[in-house]
Amino acid sequence: MVEREVNQNFDIWLPVIAGIATKEEVEMATAHQLATWCEVAKIKIETMGRGV
């Protein structure tokens, strides 16, 4: 059940998981801020995965 909740709200959790924003910041973010943080989080995770 928890896994399903996280998967359904992945765009909310992604910046938190990547260390881009705190849960509190994500809860107060605008849609534009959240979308930006998600893109930055994806880049960070991809970059770290390559060991760069």
Residue 31 confidence (pLDDT)? 94
- Statement: residue 52 has pLDDT above 70: no
Domain span holding position 20: 2-49
Task: Give tens-digit pLDDT for 1-50.
Answer: 888 888 888 889 999 999 999 999 999 999 999 999 999 999 999 999 87
Q: How far is CA 38 from CA 1, 42, 46, in A?
A: 23, 6, 12
